[in-house]
Amino acid sequence: MYANKLGRLLSGLRGWRVAAVCGGIRSGSSWTAVCKQRRRSACPRTQNLTVHRRASVRSASQTTVDPDELRRFQSLASKWWDEQGEFAALHAMNDLRVPFIRDNLLNVHTGHHPGKPLAGLKILDIGCGGGLLTEPLGRLGADVLGIDPVEESISTAQLHSSKDPELRSRVCYRACSLEELSSVEVGGEEEEEEEEERQRAGQFDAVVASEVVEHLANPETFAFCCSHVLKPGGSLFITTINKTKLSYALAIVAAEQLFRIVPSGTHEWEKFISPVELERMLESNGFSVQSVQGMLYNPLSGAWSWTESTAINYALHAVRLRDDPPTA
């Protein structure tokens, strides 16, 4: 039971989104086990990506998606909303992440709406999966757009929220990746896209990327795309896993190798990112990190709690700095 819950805690629920959210792609065909040789992603770590490179990278991703991974995820697509099932730990994580997002947003946006604390705010939920976090944010009054590259998850999410009249008007989903949404890849010849891009940029009050960053091959690009879609002064909320010996022991060895709860290779320890590293990356993309808070999962009670140590899981809140004119 311990291993079960722990596995769920760290399971690659979004791991098989091999078409990683920001376009960085593995050139290999499938996930390899941690202990085996890892091939570095072929994606360059520069910010300026041309259309061609992106297009080729993306088409490569389509073909490099492991059919096993996809099938595994398709079979789990209906299980998102089983609160005692594979995703129980993610359901339980809402007890931490929803208040975290809500309270930090309320600090900034102090309009008083009893019953709908986040009314009037537009939020983007990246890697929304079945909508586990999207729905609570919608119930709190925000207009939420949930995106996820896996279509089956989006279908599940849409089906679940369509039953509730309150959510139908506030929550919508789209099967796409972040860079598709932010239209960073603007080719020179397409002026309309440029116009749309300008319109689409900077439209969200908050961006949420929960349990996503540890699956990206190119977090730098992700950070750039996030700053692109956020309004100046908008908030970015990330929850992810730290890159420490402890997280290796629990997330990789215990969950994947010893107990085989999570398919081998779902998480790659190399992709875990430490708060310091993430902070550096965000700050170089125009963010200011406001708070970092450790999270701990208790597999026996199935509940999460805040903790001092960020050694395994942590949550981070950053704010996109306003584009102030440079002082003389």
Partner 1 sequence: MHKVKKATMALNGLGRCFVAGKNVSVIKIVSRALVTVEPGEDPGNNGVYDVIISGGGMVGSAMACSLGMEPNLSGKKILLLEAGHKKVMDKVPDSYSTRVSSISPGSATLLSSIGAWDQITKMRCKPYKKMQVWDACSDALITFDKDNLQDEMAYIVENDIVVAALTKQMDSLPDNIQVKYRSKVVKYTWPMPHQAADSIPWVQVGLASGETVQTKLLIGADGSNSMVRRALGIPTVKWNYDQSAVVAVLHLSEPTENNVAWQRFLPTGPIAMLPLSDTESSLVWSTSHQLAEELLEMDEESFVDAINSAFWSNENQSEMIETAGSLFRSALSAIMPSAGSPRQLPPSVAGIGPKSRVKFPLGMGHASEYTRHRVALIGDAAHRVHPLAGQGVNLGFGDVACLTQLLSQAAFNGKDLGAIQHLLEYETERQRHNLPMMSAIDLMKRLYSTNAAPAVLLRTFGLQATNMLPSLKEQIMAFASK
Residue 65 · residue 31 · CB < 8 Å? no
Which 193-252 positions form the footprint of partner 1 (CB under 8 A)? none
Tokens for 30, please give them.
Answer: 């499938």
Q: Is 86 in the site for partner 1 (CB under 8 A)?
A: no
Distance CA 232, CA 287 (A): 10
The count of other CB atoms within 10 Å of the CB of residue 236 is 26
Distance CA 200, CA 183 (A): 8
The alpha carbon of residue 9 and the mean position of all alpha carbons in its chain are separated, in whole angstroms, by 15
Q: Is 299 in the site for partner 1 (CB under 8 A)?
A: no
The span of 75-83, 171-179, 187-195, 293-301 binding partner 1 (CB under 8 A) equals 75-83
| Min separation Cβ 166 and partner 1, Å | 8
Q: Is 281 in the site for partner 1 (CB under 8 A)?
A: no
Which 164-183 positions form the footprint of partner 1 (CB under 8 A)? 164-165
Residue 272 · residue 240 · CB < 8 Å? yes
101 or 311: CB nearest partner 1 = 101
The count of other CB atoms within 10 Å of the CB of residue 42 is 13
DSSP per-residue codes, 29-45: SS---TTS--PPP----
| Min separation Cβ 137 and partner 1, Å | 6
Distance CA 313, CA 294 (A): 6
The span of 3-11, 161-169, 198-206, 292-300 binding partner 1 (CB under 8 A) equals 161-169
Total residues interacting with partner 1, rule: CB under 8 A: 23
| Min separation Cβ 311 and partner 1, Å | 26
* Helix, coil or strand: residue 157: helix
Q: How far are the Cα atoms of 308, 312, 314 from residue 296, in angstroms, in the given order? A: 9, 7, 8
81 or 248: CB nearest partner 1 = 81
The span of 55-63, 79-87, 280-288, 313-321 binding partner 1 (CB under 8 A) equals 79-87
| Min separation Cβ 260 and partner 1, Å | 25
93 or 255: CB nearest partner 1 = 93
Residues 36, 67, 115, 327: which binds partner 1 (CB under 8 A)? 115
The span of 25-33, 135-143, 182-190, 220-228 binding partner 1 (CB under 8 A) equals 135-143
Residues 3, 98, 186, 321: which binds partner 1 (CB under 8 A)? 98
Distance CA 259, CA 262 (A): 8
Residues 159, 246, 258, 300: which binds partner 1 (CB under 8 A)? 159
The count of other CB atoms within 10 Å of the CB of residue 202 is 16
The count of other CB atoms within 10 Å of the CB of residue 259 is 14
Residues engaged in binding partner 1 (CB under 8 A): 81-83, 94-95, 98-99, 102, 114-117, 135-140, 159-160, 163-165
